């Protein structure tokens, strides 16, 4: 299914349709609000497609707003990567790029107002004391000894907090709501904490920073967001979101709506765990092609359209579920099957000598560039006396239903000739070194011979004389377990030791001209993308997806 098809109406779109029909809103404004403390992953893609997609569908706008309220974990590297990823995914925010730090002064002024109206106070308790005082779901919290501090004193202390007179953790600003409230988020939540950390945009201007629950709703209101779409973990935060909007004179009243986040098999989605994979060198970086990050998927060769189609396919619900990563890979394959050019490559080569073919002769065979798009025409592939084939396309002691090359057997070499194996050449250890074959000149282009005999097998090949050497990285699932988070022990215990296999491959010469970032099909093997590690001397290819899902067979046997 193309991402250009009209999306089905989910519960969020139904709410928006009703709001427009009733006249509650004349224009729909959404936002995508990432925290710049890591790279975006496939879970963020669902939110991006939802927020930007809804804005497009209803003729509104979507803002990109960075929730940069935690300077100790944020960096311009992450800001730049997020901007690149959202654009690559196919979306544009126009002039609507914002940062929560744009609103620090206004958020501070509103916090002052909350203190003046008796709805906030400065608390001297440390984090452990505050946590203990909040109680639990069965036990109400206890009031801070500073809860009834006079507003004038809290105002003075809050100003001094801003001026840097106190160290990290010495004081916080808390809302004064209800320490016995059944919703834990209402038990005097922290609004501001002290953090003497350099901010990537405001430098050292501030040493107090607003908490997410306080900053988020007010930022939405300042931008006149109509529908603030969040994942389900924020459902219990919604009443607090609404409390702030109601108790502060904000310019608009946004509505928060929650939906189920995206979970994938054989994957972890926690940004903390992804950071751990990177920092402990279990992967080569945030853009390692095994990572579920958008930069990793882009490097692996996933087309943005395939990711958008996947997000459309799984839809929007309120029910938590885990989606099979094979569904994502299938959407990727559908796009690549339509768009990717075909070439031949041999990943584990064994040499074939065509003994009855002239030694100095070279023919150019016509091969289709993409059977799904005949308008692309054909390409020329050189054929000569010495060839390479895949080692597993030959079997010396072959079973009856093995239809590839075997002693005395005949197969079709794709777009070339029929070849028959006459002799197997081995070294002193018994390792096969060469296959000596003969060809039938009446079968050029793979045509059936005049005598009417048939073959069932077709294999790919590369001319040894013209072959281009390349490094091919065959990637697999990063984890062995379908749900590494739920499996026994640490998620790191379930890393797949075979998640990458590096091969020195032989490629048809046309692949030397494929550009970095381009994804092609290696016939019969899968889709492969030219990696950024490629040099003028050596191309590096990443396997995007195989043509067949070997994990499906494993799952079927378990």
Residue 413, helix vs strand vs coil: strand
Q: Alpha helix locations (H) across 265-396? A: 271-279, 294-300, 304-314, 325-339
Q: Encoding tokens for residue 499?
A: 């998640």
Cβ–Cβ < 8 Å for 121, 149: yes
User: Quick one: three-class SS letters along 488-526?
Assistant: CCCHHHHECCCCEEEEEEEECHHHHHCCCCCEEEECCCE
Digits of tens for pLDDT over the chain (558 positions)? 444 445 568 999 999 999 999 999 999 999 999 999 999 999 999 999 999 999 999 999 999 999 999 999 999 999 999 999 999 999 999 999 999 999 999 999 999 999 999 999 999 999 999 999 999 999 999 999 999 999 999 999 999 999 999 999 999 999 999 999 999 999 999 999 999 999 999 999 999 999 999 999 999 999 999 999 999 999 999 999 999 999 999 999 999 999 999 999 999 999 999 999 999 999 999 999 999 999 999 999 999 999 999 999 999 999 989 999 999 999 999 999 999 999 999 999 999 999 999 999 999 999 999 999 999 999 999 999 999 999 999 999 999 899 999 999 999 999 999 999 999 999 999 999 999 999 999 999 988 999 989 999 999 999 999 999 999 999 999 999 999 999 999 999 999 999 999 999 999 999 999 999 999 999 999 999 999 999 999 999 999 999 986 555 544 443
Beta carbons within 8 Å of 165's beta carbon, 6+ residues apart: none
pLDDT number for residue 9 = 82
The β-bridge relationship of strands 342-343 and 539-546 is unpaired
Q: Please tell me the CATH code under which domain 118-211 is placed.
A: 3.90.800.10
pLDDT number for residue 385 = 98
pLDDT number for residue 550 = 59
Closest CA to 463 of 312, 327, 362: 362
Distance CA 65, CA 43 (A): 17
Task: Say what the pTM is.
Answer: 0.93
pLDDT number for residue 552 = 52
Distance CA 219, CA 211 (A): 12
Distance CA 461, CA 349 (A): 9
Domain 118-211 identical in fold to domain 468-557:
no
465 is catalytic: no
Residue 99 β-bridge partners: 66
Letter string b/e over residues 128-144, b meaning 16 or more CB atoms within 10 A of that residue's CB: eebeebbbeeeeebeeb
- Sequence length of the chain is 558
The catalytic residue among 13, 35, 235, 420 is 35
C-alpha dist (Å) from residue 455 to 225, 368, 391, 406: 65, 21, 20, 12
Exposed/middle/buried for residue 453 (C-beta within 10 Å: 0-12, 13-18, 19+): exposed
Closest CA to 351 of 442, 419, 403, 287: 419
The catalytic residue among 31, 171, 193, 271 is 271
Class of 343-463 in CATH: mainly beta
271 is catalytic: yes
Q: Please tell me the CATH code under which domain 468-557 is placed.
A: 2.40.240.10
Domain ranges of the chain: 118-211, 343-463, 468-557
Angle among Cα 520, 310, 256 to the nearest 5 degrees reads 140
**φ/ψ of residue 110, rounded to 5:** -70, -35
pLDDT number for residue 555 = 45
Beta carbons within 8 Å of 375's beta carbon, 6+ residues apart: none
User: No. of H helices and E strands in the chain?
Assistant: 13, 27
The catalytic residue among 73, 201, 261, 444 is 261
pLDDT number for residue 313 = 95
351 is catalytic: no
């Amino acid at each position: 299914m193309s991402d250009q098809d009209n999306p089905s109406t989910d519960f969020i779109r139904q709410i928006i349709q009703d709001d427009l029909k009733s006249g509650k809103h004349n224009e729909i404004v959404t936002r995508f609000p990432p925290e710049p403390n890591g790279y975006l992953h496939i879970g963020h893609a669902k939110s991006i497609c939802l927020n930007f997609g809804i804005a497009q569908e209803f003729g509104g706008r979507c803002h990109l707003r960075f929730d940069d309220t935690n300077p100790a974990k944020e960096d311009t590297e992450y800001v730049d990567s997020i901007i690149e990823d959202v654009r690559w995914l196919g979306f544009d925010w126009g002039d609507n790029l914002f940062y929560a730090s744009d609103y620090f002064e206004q958020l501070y002024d509103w916090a002052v107002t909350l203190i003046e109206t008796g709805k906030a106070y400065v608390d001297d308790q440390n984090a452990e004391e505050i946590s203990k005082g909040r109680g639990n779901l069965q036990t109400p919290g206890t009031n801070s000894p500073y809860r009834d501090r006079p507003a004038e004193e809290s105002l003075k202390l809050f100003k001094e907090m801003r001026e840097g007179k106190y160290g990290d953790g010495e004081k916080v600003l808390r809302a004064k709501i209800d320490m016995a409230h059944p919703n834990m988020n209402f038990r005097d939540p922290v609004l501001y904490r002290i953090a003497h950390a350099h901010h990537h945009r405001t430098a050292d201007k501030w040493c107090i920073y607003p908490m997410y629950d306080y900053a988020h709703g007010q930022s939405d209101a300042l931008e006149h967001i109509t529908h603030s779409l969040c994942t389900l973990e924020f459902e219990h935060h919604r009443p607090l979101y609404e409390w702030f909007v109601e108790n502060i004179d904000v310019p608009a009243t946004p509505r928060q709506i929650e939906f189920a986040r995206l979970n994938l098999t054989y994957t972890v989605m926690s940004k903390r765990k992804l950071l751990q994979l990177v920092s402990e060198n279990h992967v080569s970086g945030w853009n390692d092609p095994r990572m579920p990050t958008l930069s990793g998927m882009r490097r692996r060769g996933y087309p943005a359209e395939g990711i958008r189609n996947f997000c459309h396919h799984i839809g929007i619900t309120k029910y938590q579920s885990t989606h099979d990563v094979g569904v994502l890979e299938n959407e990727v394959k559908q796009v690549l099957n339509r768009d990717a050019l075909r070439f031949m490559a041999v990943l584990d080569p064994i040499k074939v000598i065509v003994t009855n073919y002239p030694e100095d002769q070279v023919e150019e065979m016509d091969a289709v560039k993409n059977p799904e798009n005949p308008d692309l025409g054909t390409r020329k592939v050189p054929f000569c006396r010495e060839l390479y084939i895949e080692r597993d396309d030959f079997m010396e002691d072959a079973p009856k239903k093995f239809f590839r090359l075997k002693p005395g057997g005949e197969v079709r070499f794709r777009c070339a000739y029929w070849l028959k194996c006459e002799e197997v050449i081995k070294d002193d250890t018994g390792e096969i070194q060469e296959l000596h074959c003969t060809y039938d000149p009446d079968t050029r282009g793979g045509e059936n011979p005049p005598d009417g005999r048939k073959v069932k097998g077709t294999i790919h090949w590369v001319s040894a004389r013209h072959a281009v050497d390349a490094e091919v990285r065959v990637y697999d699932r990063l984890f062995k377990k379908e749900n590494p988070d739920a499996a026994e022990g640490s998620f790191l215990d379930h890393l797949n030791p075979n998640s990458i296999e590096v091969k020195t491959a032989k490629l048809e010469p046309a692949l030397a001209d494929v550009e970095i970032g381009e994804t092609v099909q290696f016939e019969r093997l899968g889709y492969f993308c030219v990696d950024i590690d490629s040099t003028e001397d050596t191309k590096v290819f990443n396997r995007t997806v195989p043509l067949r899902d070997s994990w499906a067979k494993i799952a079927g046997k378990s």
